[in-house]
């Protein structure tokens, strides 16, 4: 075994699959076995694995200016062009963009800039952040504290109180419904809980609420209709900023430019990474409104510097990669493609799996989806320890499809957005017999409830 501490891995089960190369939506292991990459790596390789244009843009930039930092007044063309491109795209007023390397550090940057801003305008008490149960926002100290998944919190002693993190209900009707309440009643109940919490905490102490338009690592939760409209009304009422974590949803994944567009969110802050460069080079973006940026200028002048930044902030090669990726999205009309193929994908998932004895819920939008695996469809009982999710992931991989079990027993899909309808059929043709085999396996183990 190599001397690697592997991320988000059971450290007793490392190096189970070694990938060697990629081609389109496919990857190949070191034995030459071919797999459909059904999760686009980690929700990120939107253009697949061998886009020669992006590779060419990276090589051209490496040959021209392979590195330049952006501290102390230094800049370069790719970072300025990328910032202006994003400014023109995002639904944030007079946007300004800070560049980093990952979604985690981008959310940490937002956390710090919120404190910087409210200190600058004389409201240092306005520092609490609301996150949701089952939210995922990264793994650095602040972003990891905004994350609510047990595995990401266990043993790390996340400083939740020191960071002033508040938690509210996850908007998942399937798992959160009480009694016979309708979706509308569920939404009203959990948002009343939120408003009660805001009042109890004092709205003047709360800076922002962070939301994934559609969640990823917690199981691809799509909030019910009306949730975001009512949520935003509450947050605006109490002067709490809307912070949209678009790390997974951004750039076509939901069948639109942004998850905010799909879900009807008007954000104040936006976080990007992953599909911004199709993961060909690490880059993230923290977007804030111009009115917030302008209040940060004079404090930086008094200190002599805005004291935040990374060596690789706005790396010229990363910016060049992102510019080419955004150009391809626009030129090839890939958001419309994702919408069309995504509609087909969602329909096929429902047709094939809504009645499957192992599937309790089919959910998703565009080219992101999940199958909630249950031991009893009537009671919605789950499997302890994520047994069904792990088994489904394993059997699919054995059959040539890489997926990921998230949120316990949700089998997640997130293929490259270049995928075709025929390739959707190929992918689901692997899933169906795989789930059939897993169902029989779990039944033999006595894990299926009668």
Structural domains in the chain (count)? 2
Last residue of some domain: 284, 309, 331? Answer: 331
pLDDT at 20 (0 to 100) = 97
Are 324 and 301 members of one domain?
A: yes
Residue 149 covered by a domain: yes
252 within 8 A of 336, measured Cβ to Cβ: no
Phi, psi dihedrals of residue 135, rounded to the nearest 5°: -85, 155
Are 193 and 341 members of one domain?
A: no
Are 188 and 309 members of one domain?
A: yes
pLDDT at 109 (0 to 100) = 98
The domain of 398 spans 333-444
Residue with tokens 């994350």: 147
pLDDT in tens, 332-386: 999 999 999 999 999 999 999 999 999 999 999 999 999 999 999 999 999 999 9
Q: Distance (Å, rounded) from C-alpha 276 to C-alpha 102?
A: 11
pTM of the shown model: 0.96
Phi, psi dihedrals of residue 286, rounded to the nearest 5°: -110, 115
* Neighbour count for residue 199 (Cβ, 10 Å): 10
| Listed residue (402, 424, 429) closest to 27, CA to CA | 402
Residue 424 covered by a domain: yes
Q: Read off the CATH number of the domain in which 342 is found.
A: 3.90.1150.10
pLDDT at 449 (0 to 100) = 85
DSSP 128: E
Last residue of some domain: 331, 362, 391? Answer: 331
82 within 8 A of 324, measured Cβ to Cβ: no
Are 280 and 356 members of one domain?
A: no
Residue 40 covered by a domain: no
pLDDT in tens, 73-92: 999 999 999 999 999 999 99
Q: Which residues of the chain have a pLDDT value below 70?
A: 450
pLDDT at 260 (0 to 100) = 98
Residue 29 covered by a domain: no
pLDDT at 131 (0 to 100) = 98
Q: Read off the CATH number of the domain in which 178 is found.
A: 3.40.640.10
How far, rounded to the nearest angstrom, does the alpha carbon of residue 312 sit from its chain's CA centroid?
22
355 within 8 A of 331, measured Cβ to Cβ: no
Q: Distance (Å, rounded) from C-alpha 243 to C-alpha 219?
A: 20
Last residue of some domain: 331, 363, 383? Answer: 331
Are 269 and 399 members of one domain?
A: no
Are 193 and 313 members of one domain?
A: yes
Residue 41 covered by a domain: no
| Listed residue (385, 350, 397) closest to 370, CA to CA | 350
Are 201 and 348 members of one domain?
A: no
């Amino acid at each position: 075994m190599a001397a690697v501490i592997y991320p988000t891995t059971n450290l007793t089960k490392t190096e189970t699959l070694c990938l060697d190369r990629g081609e389109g939506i496919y990857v190949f292991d070191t034995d030459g076995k071919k797999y459909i990459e059904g999760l686009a790596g980690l929700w990120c390789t939107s253009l697949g694995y061998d886009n020669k244009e992006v590779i060419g843009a990276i090589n051209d930039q490496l040959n021209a200016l392979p590195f330049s930092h952006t501290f102390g007044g230094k800049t370069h063309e790719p970072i300025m062009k990328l910032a202006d491109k994003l400014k023109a795209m995002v639904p944030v007023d007079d946007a300004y963009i800070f560049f980093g390397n990952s979604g985690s550090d981008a959310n940490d940057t937002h956390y710090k800039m919120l404190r910087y801003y409210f200190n600058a305008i004389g409201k240092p008490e306005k520092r609490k952040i609301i996150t949701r149960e089952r939210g995922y926002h990264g793994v650095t100290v602040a972003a990891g504290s905004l994350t609510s998944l047990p595995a990401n919190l266990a043993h790390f002693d996340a400083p939740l109180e020191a960071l002033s993190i508040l938690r509210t209900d996850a908007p998942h009707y399937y798992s959160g419904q009480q009694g016979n309440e309708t979706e509308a009643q569920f939404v009203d109940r959990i948002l009343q809980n939120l408003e009660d919490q805001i009042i109890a905490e004092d709205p003047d102490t709360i800076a922002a609420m962070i939301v994934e338009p559609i969640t990823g690592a917690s199981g691809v939760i799509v909030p019910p209709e009306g949730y975001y409209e009512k949520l935003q009304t509450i947050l605006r009422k109490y002067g709490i900023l809307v912070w949209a974590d678009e790390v997974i949803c951004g750039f076509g994944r939901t069948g639109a430019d942004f998850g905010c567009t799909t879900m009807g969110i008007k954000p104040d802050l936006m976080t990007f990474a992953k599909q911004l460069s199709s993961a060909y080079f690490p880059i993230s973006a923290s977007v804030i409104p111009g009115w917030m940026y302008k209040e940060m200028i004079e404090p930086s002048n008094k200190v002599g510097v805005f004291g935040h930044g990374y060596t690789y902030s706005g790396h010229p090669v990363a910016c060049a990669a992102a510019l080419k990726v955004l150009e391809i999205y626009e030129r090839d009309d890939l958001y419309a493609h994702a919408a069309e193929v995504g509609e087909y994908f969602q329909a096929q998932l429902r047709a094939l799996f809504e009645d499957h004895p192992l599937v309790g819920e089919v959910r998703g939008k565009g080219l992101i989806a999940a199958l909630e695996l249950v031991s009893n469809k009537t009671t919605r009982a789950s499997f302890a320890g994520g047994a069904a999710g792990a088994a489904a992931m394993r059997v699919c991989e054995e059959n040539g499809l890489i997926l990921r079990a998230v949120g316990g027993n949700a089998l997640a899909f997130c293929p490259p957005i270049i995928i075709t309808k025929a390739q959707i059929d190929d992918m689901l043709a692997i899933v169906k017999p795989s789930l059939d085999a897993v169902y029989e396996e779990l039944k033999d183990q006595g894990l299926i409830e009668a």
